[in-house]
Structure 1
Amino acid sequence: MKLSTHIYIAISLIVLILMLISSITIGVFTGNSMRKKVEQALSETAFHMADKMDQFMWSRSGELYTISALEPMKTLDNVDEITELLNRLKLQFPSFSWIGVTDVNGTVIAATDDILKGGDISQRPVYQQGIKGEYIGDVHEAVLLADLLPNPTGELMQFVDISFPLTDNSGNTIGVIAAHLSWEWAREVRATVLEPIDNDQIEIFVVSAVDGSVLLGDEAQIGKMYESDKSRFIEASSIADGYLNYNGLNWTIYVRQDKTTALSSVHYLQWVIWSIGAVLFIVFVLLGRYYGKAISKPLDTLIKALDQARFGEKPALPTHKGVLEIERLSETLHELFDALNINMATINTLENVVNTDNLTGISNRTGLKNYFDLTTRHYKQLSVLSIDLDGFKQINDQYGHEAGDFVLCEVAKRLQMTIRDHEIVARIGGDEFVVLLIPNETPLDIGSLVARRIIDVINKPFIFHSFSLQVGCSIGCSSWNEGETLKIAIQRSDEALYRAKSAGKNRFEN
């Protein structure tokens, strides 16, 4: 076989193998990165949905409990006044389909729009459980109210029950206040969560913790067992396990997206890579065939450089002078590796964008999670600080969002000044920040020390143009211990933050 043929075959095989390795490596890396990004986004959506549902239930149960503590509920003598209170609550919060007050025997003595007034609900769980104490029941179909409430759509009516016992001033149980929440509120929450994203491509399901049936989702699946299809969908989930003093009904929130849609950009990138690879392969085959004889002498050095690239090393490509054909081949190989390096640099840049808050330049929720996953491989405890600015809304309202953005950026800089290089500050919401510290003492002691430092630096004025702006901050401190999730640790620090807010703001609580 002629030397030119050897060169032609050798160059063809080397270029083909190089392009295969490069395209497969980039495709796999990009596919995994994009999949993780989609999974993270779906996880955040599931958590957001669960959190909103828990906050909604906490608010409605709190409103009913507040009504139960009013003076007319201590005697049940003034039925007209009680009815007016119930109707006013329903008018203010239309998600209450029905609210009623019973005597101690379960007879309805007052109700919104007088529905079921005089009726006996003593056999219903909302009374039987409510007479014993606070009761929040899972989703169920309408029974007594099915034919009494307006239902213009004709769809199946579903409710969530809330009830509390009523006691007189001596502490004796004298009745029950009960309410049915229309399950329509869950659809409204879902619409709110899906509004900022492409809701035609993402599905949300709410699944009962009791029997695994679908409570909210595709209409054809409601009432059936939820079936995961990970061969077709990318899926994430979160548990609605309560908010503050509301314990939650442990609904499982599933959020999923069709793989074809979610990874469409990856498929397109793979197609581009293969197309470029095919074009480059053809180009090099033709060059090898045409210039085979001319490049036979320096071929050994070129093959050696390509072999280095093949096994992941940075190739030292030689530059040949004197023979035009060899110079062109050498230059083309340089351009090929430069293009591959640019692609990898672009991928690294995209990964940095995913982990960084666009406004402040510090880490976002994704960056916080990645830092947590890496750090907890080496440490068994962390200090966790949840920070919320006090008075920030007034700055936005009085000076505009430009001033608000300026304050957020300056706050981010000051927070970074209070921690060490190997610790992290992340912005996870509008004016909400989380700090993770690596303690050399007990986590709460370190958290308290840094919290005082943060309050001091945040309280200093911010000079925006000719204005001196002032904000404070409330901080909740907690610790993360080995075996726990980041979500649990942040939930504890959020509870401490709530206590700090309630105690007067611009302070910290453990």
Structure 2
Amino acid sequence: MRTAQFWLNQLNLRRSFRRRLGAAIATTILIFSVLLACIVGDISQRQIQADRGELMAQMAYQLAGALDRDMFIYYQEIQTLASLEEMRSTQRPTAQKQMLLDRMQEAFSDFAWIGLTDSRGIVMASTHGLLTGANVSKRPWFIEGRTRPNVQDVHSAKLLAALVPNPSSDPLRLVDVTAPVVDNTGTLVGVLGGHLYWQWATTLRDNLLQPLKDYKQVEIQILSSTGDVLLGPGRSPNDVSAPVNLSGLKSFQAAQQGETEAIIEPWLDNAPTLTGYAQTQGYRSYPGLGWVVLVHQPTQEAFVPARSLKHNICLWGIALGLLSGALSWYIAGQMVKPVMVIAHTAEGLRTGTTRAPMPIFSGQDEIAQLSRSVGQLFANLDQQTTLLQQFNADLEAQIAARTASLNQTNHRLQQEIQVRSQTEQALQNANQELQRLTLVDGLTGIANRRHFDQYLEQEWRRSVRDRLPLSLILLDVDYFKLYNDHYGHQSGDACLCQIAQAIAIPPRRATDLPVRYGGEEFAVILPNTDRSGAIYLAETLRQAVKALHLPHAKSAVGPWVTVSLGVATCLPSATLNPINLIRTADGLLYQAKQQGRDRIVANP
């Protein structure tokens, strides 16, 4: 206390204008610097906290969407397999059906087991012959699968626990996907069931967490529609111990209302936790099981960057405020010093205590003008007053003129910037539309021949570099000329559009490219696809076109529009050329037509 009083006495603010001005400016700058730092720090903290919450919500939404899309693929594939003639016909040999099931499991390794039963629940064919002859008529997947395609929620394995490979050391858990198998008369002949490893959910979760490996204590849990933990911390994907139920969490209840956001709530240990949530909603024909995804992180860890940023901003604000205040103190003193000299001299002249001349400071700034003005004031006060008023008027006129000129210049620049921005945006939109039109077929809306040539050349080089197989499907509409002659060209164009959509809809990878090759010919480029995979997709396309039930009165094959397909597969090398693959597929397509159409011919 005595030290503070000592320094206040030394400053002597009451007797020194210079010190009062410096102290006032320094104090004002320091106060506003600290206030500004605190405000900016608080805003930054809130923004970072909001961003982290948005990140958690987006992660939950992405995982929920990935679960739905993957389940849709398995759900659709089981239905597609159940609709094949080889499965529906009771005259086809069992060995042929088992071969299709084995191919299905090879193509989708997440299936632990796929089996076909008869209408009584006896397993007729299955992958690797497991459970052949077993009676599964009491199993929920068979009971539900007799009437409609369905998905059974996660459950422990019973019959298959000791028969199929287990990807972990924990008891096996499965998800069942089934579909009824009916013959051409609509009579139920069996049920096709597939059992998925629940392990695939772990892969989706780990892929989502990979980009966040630097974030501490970020955890993801998948809950059932009743709140039981299906996958999460402290529980492996195949753990069948008594499940933890989290239905009491606010995040779980909000997710069941269809919301996708993030909240702060107490977790199991009552520690405040930032939780993002989302519920699976199904995808296309897959209805979904109502799983809830929770992505959470303790606020103690989630908001560390926000607290650190606010702390640093406040410290820097105080430091810069002190520095600015000290600098302002010094500058104020230097600026006021000439004025104090003038004031001291003027006071001496007024009181007659000195005859020293008024100091005249050189230069054209305000201090120099003040010294000259005060010097002349004592000689002719009226004349000095007139001159000073004229000077002020001239200065204001110059400022006004300069301000008007700057405003006009700024307005012109803003107009020029706006026009240039609009022109650049229009040019960019035109270029994008032109690029799209050069790669899309104008009639069908899928890729055109030019896109086909570019993409095939690109994937050929990639396959040569990575030593991967490359497959090509060419398909041609059977008796299309007769179709055009009978129904007219407008109907023919509509037919081509529907076929193009049919070959684009079946589940396929993002790298597969359906193309209108020319006229009534279409093609599908299949990178990294072997012969069996290409044949499987070709059969799916043939069935998809036939399922359109487009009438064709002039077809010699049947009452509907059909297609013939040529499937060519090769291992590209530097000595070969993509044209060889096209010629091979075209020759196989010709053979398919020679053999009676509505069929697939593939190279050996």
**What's the TM-score, normalizing by structure 1?**
0.54
| Cα distance, 1:397–1:199 mapped onto 2, change above 3 Å | farther
Q: Deviations over 1:311-364 (max 9, x none)?
A: xxxxxxxxx9759xxxxxxxxxxxxxxxxxxxxxxxxxxxxxxxxxxxx99xxx
CA distance in 2, matches of 1:203, 1:152: 22
Q: Show the counterpart of 2:71.
A: 57
Report the equivalent of 1:149: 164
Counterpart selection for 2:286 from 241, 246, 249: 246
Whichever residue aligns with residue 225 of structure 1, its letter is N
Question: Which residue of structure 2 lines up, in the alignment, with residue 500 of structure 1?
Answer: none
Instruction: Kindly indicate whether the alpha-carbon contact (under 8 Å) linking 2:68 and 2:288 is maintained by their aligned counterparts in 1.
Output: yes
1:126 offset after TM fit, Å?
Answer: 0.6
Higher-Rg member (1/2): 2
Q: Structure 1 residue 169 and structure 2 residue 184: aligned? A: yes
Aligned residues of 1:23 and 1:274 also touching (Cα < 8 A): yes
**Which string of whole-angstrom CA distances, capped at 9 and with x for unpartnered residues, describes residues 135-177 of structure 1?**
1111111122222222263213111111111212221112211
Give per-residue Cα distances to partners, 1:46-101, cap 9 Å, x unaligned. 22222221111111111111111122322445222221111111111111101111
Q: Is the 8 A contact 1:162 1:179 kept in 2?
A: yes
Alpha-carbon distance in 1 for matches of 2:164, 2:88? 28
Query: CA distance change for structure 1 residues 220 and 69 in 2, over 3 Å: closer, same or farther?
Result: closer
The equivalent residue for 2:244 is 224
> Given the alignment of the two structures, is residue 127 of structure 1 paired with residue 127 of structure 2, yes or no?
no
* Contact map agreement 1:76 1:82 (CA 8 A) in 2: no
Question: Partner of 2:221 in structure 1?
Answer: 205
Closer, same or farther: CA 65–398 of 1 in aligned 2, 3 Å: closer
Return the alpha-carbon distance in structure 1 between the equivalents of residues 167 and 60 of structure 2.
31
- Give deviations 1:218-250, integer Å, cap 9, x for gaps: 234873124566464433222211111111112
Counterparts of 1:237 and 1:246 in 2: how far apart (Å)? Answer: 21
Structure 1 portions without partners, runs of 5+: 298-319, 324-359, 362-387, 401-470, 472-502, 504-510
String of CA shifts for 1:241-293, please: whole Å, max 9, x gaps. 11111111121222234445544443343233222222234335656887898
Question: 1:184 aligns to what?
Answer: 199
Q: Secondary structure at the match of 1:105?
A: coil
Indicate yes or no: 2:285 matched with 1:269. Answer: no
The residue identity in structure 2 corresponding to 1:121 is V
Alignment of 1:72-91 (within 5 A): 72-77=86-91, 78-91=93-106
Equivalent-residue separation in structure 2 for 1:396 and 1:277 (angstroms):
58
Q: 1:71 to 1:291 in 2, by over 3 A?
A: closer
Q: The residue matched to 1:61 in structure 2 has which SS? A: helix
- 2:117 match: secondary structure: strand
- Asked if structure 2 preserves the Cα contact closer than 8 Å seen for 1:104 and 1:173, the reply is yes
One-letter identity of the residue aligned with 1:147? A
Does the 8 Å contact 2:48/2:306 carry over to 1?
yes
Which letter does structure 2 place at the counterpart of 1:138? D
Give the 3-state SS of the residue equivalent to 1:238 in structure 2.
strand
Give the deviation of 1:40 after TM superposition: 2.9
Structure 2 equivalent of residue 456 of structure 1: none
Check whether the contact 1:106–1:175 (CA below 8 A) recurs between aligned residues.
Answer: yes
Q: Which segment is superposed worse, 30-39 or 99-108?
A: 30-39
Shift of 1:18: 1.4
Partner of 1:66: 80
Classify 1:120/1:240 alpha carbon distance in 2 versus 1 (closer, same or farther; 3 Å). Answer: same
Q: Are residues 73 and 24 of structure 1, via their aligned partners in 2, closer, same or farther at CA, if it must alter by over 3 Å?
A: same
Q: Find the aligned partners of 1:389 and 1:18 in 2 and give their Cα distance.
A: 62
2:277 aligned to which of 199, 213, 237: 237
Q: 2:295 maps to what in 1?
A: 255
**What is the aligned residue count?**
322
1:220/1:135 Cα in 2 relative to 1: closer, same or farther (>3 Å)? closer
Q: Which residue of 1 aligns with 2:120?
A: 105
CA–CA distance in 2 between the matches of 1:238 and 1:259? 19
* Corresponding residue of 1:138: 153
Distance 1:44 1:390, change over 3 A: farther
1:132 CA displacement: 2.1
Residues 242 and 393 of structure 1, relative CA distance in 2, 3 Å threshold: farther
CA distance in 2, matches of 1:113, 1:205: 34
Residues 7, 288 of structure 1: 8 Å contact kept: no
C-alpha contact 1:11 1:284 (8 A) present in aligned 2? no
The CA RMSD measured in Å over matched residues stands at 4.0
SS of structure 1 residue aligned to 2:186? coil
What is the one-letter code of the residue matched to 1:87? D
Distance in 1, matches of 2:33 and 2:300, equals 25
For the 8 Å contact 1:103–1:176, the answer to whether it is kept is yes
* Per-residue CA distance 1:448-495 (angstroms, 9 max, x = gap): xxxxxxxxxxxxxxxxxxxxxxx9xxxxxxxxxxxxxxxxxxxxxxxx
Q: Which amino acid aligns with 2:143?
A: Q
Task: Spell out the pairing of 1:2-17 with structure 2 (5 A cutoff).
Answer: 2-3=12-13, 14-17=28-31
**Structure 1 residues 292 and 170: CA distance shift in structure 2, 3 A:** closer
Residue 398 to residue 51, structure 1, CA distance change in 2 (3 Å): same
Deviation at 1:198, TM superposition (A): 3.5
Q: Supply the AA of the counterpart residue of 2:318.
A: A
In 2, Cα distance between equivalents of 1:179 and 1:152: 17
The alpha-carbon distance between structure 1 residues 291 and 188, as it changes in their structure 2 partners (threshold 3 A), is closer
The sequence identity of aligned pairs, in percent, is: 28
The answer for unaligned runs of 5 or more in structure 2 is 1-8, 252-263, 267-271, 338-364, 369-424, 427-444, 459-515, 517-547, 549-604
Question: Partners in 2 of 1:89 and 1:46 — Cα distance?
Answer: 30
TM-score (norm 2): 0.46
Q: Which of the numbers 14, 17, 28 marks the counterpart of 2:42? A: 28
Q: Using the TM superposition, give the Cα deviation of residue 200 of structure 1 relative to its aligned residue in structure 2, in angstroms.
A: 5.3
Q: Does the C-alpha gap of structure 1 residues 151 and 241 become closer, same or farther in structure 2, counting only changes over 3 Å?
A: same
CA separation of 1:203/1:396 partners in 2, compared to 1, >3 Å: closer, same or farther? farther
Task: After TM superposition, list the pairs within 5 Å mapping 1:322-333 onto structure 2.
Answer: none
Residue aligning to 1:432: none
AA aligned to 1:246 is Y
